[in-house]
Structure 1
Amino acid sequence: MTPSLLSLLRKVDTPTVCNAIEVAQGQRGFNRFTRGTMLCSAPEEPAIVGYARTAKIAAVHPPNEPPEVIRTRRMAYYKYMAEPPGPSIAVVEDTDYPECVGAYWGEINTTVHKGFGMSGVLTNGVMRDLGDMPKGFPVIAGSVGPSHGFVHVREIDTPVSIFGLEVCPGDLVHADRHGALVVPEDIIDQLEAAIQNLLSTERIILDAARQPGFDFEAFETAWSAFEKARV
């Protein structure tokens, strides 16, 4: 991923990237995105973009392993999340879903992960401490709740599932208040041009619709030009 592509991806929303991937693929049908409604801790902030660092947690029941095993895995988790290179995103599956109760993502944990240089979080689990999380580190989560329950790390660096989206370690993820997607590796070098092409194509309709006196005839003309330019 080039610096210019990274900069562009942080400026556009996830629906735009969904559409641009189809432009790059030359067809409709891209489906590596989340399903359902997710919550964002900072909907006004830019999208989070980065390579997935994955883990699984649970919180409904206390861990049934010895405390030293849980402690060792916890520190291994933090070491893994802190490793270069970036940009990176914590993608953490709560295996209690849809009965998640433990807010793993609050003021302390988000501040720690941001300190590691990570870009944000994608999880099907719970977040809390809204208003106290650090700026510039959005959390895209499944729910909001007050308690951490018995939250503990179960697995590290393993494939995870977030709202129907399968994410493997190292996948390039784009996420915002709309949800998240995984960028196909084979179109990454085409994605910047595809986004620019998509934005210019959309302006054909948007610019026309914003003009005074816009009517069906003007729409029909603009739509004809739009269809010729799009996938």
Structure 2
Amino acid sequence: MSNLSSSLLDVLRRVDTPTVCNAIEVAEGRRGFNDFTRGTMLSSAPDAPPMVGFARTARIAALAPSQEPPEVVRARRMAYYRYMAEGAMPAVAVIEDMDFPDCIGAYWGEINTTVHKGFGLAGALTNGVMRDLGDLPDGFPVVAGSVGVSHGFVHVTEIDVPVTIYGLTVRPGALVHADRHGAIAIPEAVLPELEAAIDKLLATEHIVLDAARAPGFDFTRFETAWSAFEKART
């Protein structure tokens, strides 16, 4: 995405995912943005800044051993790591566990997160399992579907394909923003306007927030603030 400027990237790293989700609607000039996760996800580092990056996607499974020859499984594993280690930065690993909703294989533990962080990735988004909480490296948050203890028979089944995480379809190369709230895929078309949209959103929200936090706030002051808020955001 050539429209991802360093200035916009800095802004995206400072604001939470709900803010970006709302700002996309400001940039589009309408409500109805739909590329976000559904349901409650878990974060390995709830207080960490959001992860922002281009999606590097794969699918895994862990309930049963692969039925493919061991050499095929090993070759795909190495192809997976090569894929994760190369390509445009910033990047986020987006991994669909095909056992969902019965995932048992904790793909994201201390070793795998440390390897991916070493490759330069910003974090991982998955509908699957994480473990080793407390031992995961700083600066590599994992937003996952669950926490578990075992890796099961985890193995990579596909690489560089569209994946679905809690109702959000992510294509390879999509710009992902994720934090403890969940994740979104940012449409490329809004990137030229997104930084200004975030600034506008934050400014208009303060019209109501500042009034509500001020002494003497009542319905009359709310009504005045809300009217100014609605005018400012259109």
Question: How would you bin the TM-score normalised by the shorter chain?
Answer: over 0.9
The CA distance in 2 between the partners of 1:114 and 1:7, in whole Å, is 19
TM-score, length basis structure 1? 0.99
- Superposed displacement of residue 84, structure 1: 2.9
Q: Which AA in structure 2 matches 1:87?
A: P
The CA distance in 2 between the partners of 1:68 and 1:225, in whole Å, is 65
Q: Tell me if 1:55 matches 2:36.
A: no
Q: Tell me if 1:97 matches 2:93.
A: no
3-state DSSP class of the match of 1:182?
strand
Report the RMSD for the aligned CA atoms in angstroms: 0.6
CA deviation profile, 1:158-214 (whole Å, cap 9, x unmatched): 000000000000000000011000001111111000000000000101111111111
Structure 1 runs, 4 residues or longer, greater than 2 Å off: none
3-state DSSP class of the match of 2:217?
coil
2:71 maps to 68
Note the residue ranges of structure 2 that are not aligned, 5 or more in a row: none
Match of 1:148 among 137, 151, 157: 151
The CA distance in 1 between the partners of 2:223 and 2:168, in whole Å, is 37
2:177 maps to 174
Match of 1:16 among 19, 23, 34: 19
Note the residue ranges of structure 1 that are not aligned, 5 or more in a row: none
1:188 maps to 191
1:137 maps to 140
Q: Which AA in structure 1 matches 2:36?
A: F
The CA distance in 2 between the partners of 1:215 and 1:48, in whole Å, is 39
Q: Which AA in structure 2 matches 1:134?
A: P
CA deviation profile, 1:118-152 (whole Å, cap 9, x unmatched): 00000000000000000011000000000000000
Match of 1:109 among 112, 117, 132: 112
TM-score, length basis structure 2? 0.98
Q: Tell me if 1:203 matches 2:206.
A: yes
3-state DSSP class of the match of 2:125?
strand
- Superposed displacement of residue 217, structure 1: 1.1
Q: How many residues align?
A: 231
The CA distance in 1 between the partners of 2:92 and 2:189, in whole Å, is 20
**What is the identity percentage for the equivalent residue pairs of Structure 1 and Structure 2?**
72
Q: Which AA in structure 1 matches 2:51?
A: I
The CA distance in 2 between the partners of 1:50 and 1:59, in whole Å, is 26
CA deviation profile, 1:57-93 (whole Å, cap 9, x unmatched): 0000001011110000000000000003200000000
Q: Which AA in structure 1 matches 2:193?
A: Q
2:168 maps to 165
Q: Tell me if 1:27 matches 2:27.
A: no
Q: Which AA in structure 2 matches 1:150?
A: F
Match of 2:218 among 190, 215, 219: 215
